[in-house]
């Protein structure tokens, strides 16, 4: 061991002592960990669209950034389809949701602006705010009045720029749904931009899976982020907004400008996934049924509140205990992962149970029994 490596080993040892060291794990057991909510990751229609594109000579690689030679017809076709699907003026395809969130917040707010973000917003939004020129503050989770108060206080102190409201529509670690209409009212009252991260709602919630902010799309002050690697089952992210917003991202969004473009084949896959999404009412109904089943057969016996979405947190608090129970469930054949700080606030370590169509009701019931056993053994 060289001296240069010692500080890194010490940091890893410190994470081990706090039960916070992360390790890559192979896929194993029944899926209660992925975000493949509708089971589209293995969808034969999407797979066939990619196979057809390969047969027609669509390249695997893009060969460069979109502003160089990487701009393929497949990217442009997808963006036209996405704008039409979500009801926006324009759309932009980026590599993933993390890059898209950073690009929006780092590039668009000006130095005189104020960003008010929900306290539980994605890490990518936090990183984007660190890179931007605007001032940023956090508002109490899902509290529209807290957003309004932050903007009013800033104005009273002499703030002259534009306010930005940033929220997820469905929170990835708590599974709760944002008061989208109330946030939109605050944005309208204060002439603020409204950025809605639909990552965990796209394909699953809203009319034809268009998200929980679907009714707001197309308004000039609304920007939506539709992640493609979750409910759509593929990869990448779509930002939908007014044309000037999209054009400014093309010019100033560093994660877009300086990144190699996504594979044209992935653009084909996303376009096929959007088509599947539009006709997936049966899948959405089946997932809703699975959520109702989990409420009765997993949550109720444990005294947990009924889930409001496909994301079901079981908050245990202690990091080590959380990881022990997650390990016990994995040993029993259920892929449930423990989530610890800093991903969630300190003292709220949890099991994040993700309900997808990769399992059925009987498997959800079996997980409930295994979880009750693991919790009882942990108390013994």
Question: What pLDDT digit, counting tens, does each position of 246-293 carry?
Answer: 999 999 999 999 999 999 999 999 999 999 999 999 999 999 999 999
With a cut of 70, say whether residue 101 has pLDDT above it: yes
- Check which CATH number belongs to the domain holding 199 and give it: 3.40.640.10
| CA distances (Å), origin 75, targets 28, 65, 80, 107, 233 | 34, 12, 9, 22, 18
One domain, residues 156 and 248: yes
Our count of domains for the chain comes to 2
Phi, psi of 265 (to 5 degrees): -65, -35
Domain assignment of residue 6, yes or no: no
Query: Is the distance from CB of 371 to CB of 298 less than 8 angstroms?
Result: yes
pLDDT of residue 174: 95
One domain, residues 292 and 267: no
One domain, residues 115 and 252: yes
Domain boundary among 278, 295, 320: 278
Query: Is the distance from CB of 138 to CB of 119 less than 8 angstroms?
Result: yes
The Cα–Cα gap between 105 and 10 comes to 34
Mean pLDDT of 313-325: 93
Domain assignment of residue 50, yes or no: no
With a cut of 80, say whether residue 2 has pLDDT above it: no
One domain, residues 243 and 293: no
Domain assignment of residue 315, yes or no: yes
222-227 and 237-241 as β-strands: parallel, antiparallel, unpaired? antiparallel
Question: What pLDDT digit, counting tens, does each position of 125-140 carry?
Answer: 999 999 999 999 999 9
One domain, residues 153 and 63: yes
| CA distances (Å), origin 104, targets 157, 199, 241, 251 | 26, 14, 11, 12
Extract the tokens encoding 127.
Answer: 């990183």
- Check which CATH number belongs to the domain holding 310 and give it: 3.90.1150.10
| CA distances (Å), origin 369, targets 150, 247, 285, 353, 364 | 45, 52, 25, 14, 9
Catalytic center residues: 35, 122, 168, 172, 197, 200, 230
Please report where in the chains the tokens 């109720």 appear, as a residue.
Answer: 300
One domain, residues 342 and 274: no
pLDDT of residue 81: 98
pLDDT of residue 20: 84
Domain assignment of residue 225, yes or no: yes
Question: What pLDDT digit, counting tens, does each position of 232-253 carry?
Answer: 999 999 999 999 999 999 999 9
Extract the tokens encoding 144.
Answer: 């529209």
Q: Range of 241's domain?
A: 58-278
Question: What pLDDT digit, counting tens, does each position of 108-117 carry?
Answer: 999 999 999 9
Domain assignment of residue 255, yes or no: yes
Domain assignment of residue 288, yes or no: yes
One domain, residues 77 and 131: yes
Question: What pLDDT digit, counting tens, does each position of 321-354 carry?
Answer: 999 999 999 999 999 999 999 989 999 999 999 9
Extract the tokens encoding 47.
Answer: 């797979």
Domain assignment of residue 4, yes or no: no
pLDDT of residue 4: 60
The closest of 138, 133, 160 to 149, measured between CA atoms, is 138
Phi, psi of 220 (to 5 degrees): -65, -20
| Degrees to nearest 5, angle at CA 357 with 345 and 36 | 50
One domain, residues 121 and 252: yes
Query: Is the distance from CB of 118 to CB of 256 less than 8 angstroms?
Result: no
One domain, residues 82 and 217: yes
Extract the tokens encoding 49.
Answer: 């669209």
């Amino acid at each position: 061991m060289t001296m240069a490596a010692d500080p890194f080993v010490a940091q890893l040892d410190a994470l081990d002592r706090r039960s916070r060291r992360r390790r890559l794990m192979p896929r194993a057991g029944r899926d209660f960990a992925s975000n493949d909510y509708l089971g589209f990751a293995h969808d034969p229609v999407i797979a066939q669209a990619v196979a057809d594109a390969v047969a027609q000579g669509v390249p695997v690689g893009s060969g460069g950034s979109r502003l160089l030679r990487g701009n393929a017809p497949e990217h442009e076709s997808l963006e036209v389809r996405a704008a039409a699907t979500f009801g926006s003026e324009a759309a932009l395809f980026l590599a993933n949701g993390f890059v898209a969130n950073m690009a929006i917040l780092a590039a668009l707010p000006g130095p005189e602006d104020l960003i008010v973000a929900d306290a539980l917003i994605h890490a990518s939004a936090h990183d984007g705010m660190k890179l931007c020129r605007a001032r940023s503050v956090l508002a109490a989770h899902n509290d529209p009045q807290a957003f309004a108060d932050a903007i009013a206080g800033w104005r009273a102190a002499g703030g002259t720029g534009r306010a930005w409201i940033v929220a997820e529509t469905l929170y990835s670690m708590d599974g709760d749904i944002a008061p989208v209409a109330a946030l939109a009212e605050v944005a309208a009252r204060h002439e603020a931009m409204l950025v809605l991260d639909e990552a965990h709602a796209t394909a699953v919630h809203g009319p034809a899976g268009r998200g929980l902010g679907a009714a707001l799309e197309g308004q000039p002050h609304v920007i939506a982020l539709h992640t493609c690697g979750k409910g759509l089952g593929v990869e990448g992210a779509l930002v939908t907004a007014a044309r000037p917003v999209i054009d400014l991202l093309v010019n100033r969004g560093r994660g877009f400008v300086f990144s190699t473009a996504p594979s044209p084949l992935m653009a084909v896959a996303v376009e096929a996934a959007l088509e599947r999404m539009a006709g997936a009412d049966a899948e959405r109904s089946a997932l809703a049924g699975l959520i109702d089943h989990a409420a009765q057969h997993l949550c109720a016996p444990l005294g947990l509140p009924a889930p409001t979405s496909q994301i079901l947190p079981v908050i245990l608090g202690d990091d080590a205990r959380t990881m022990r129970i997650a390990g016990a469930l994995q040993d029993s054949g259920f892929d449930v992962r423990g989530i610890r700080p800093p991903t969630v606030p300190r003292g709220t370590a949890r099991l994040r149970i993700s309900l997808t169509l990769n399992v059925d009701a009987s498997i959800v019931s079996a997980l409930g029994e295994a979880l009750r056993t693991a919790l009882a053994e942990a108390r013994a």
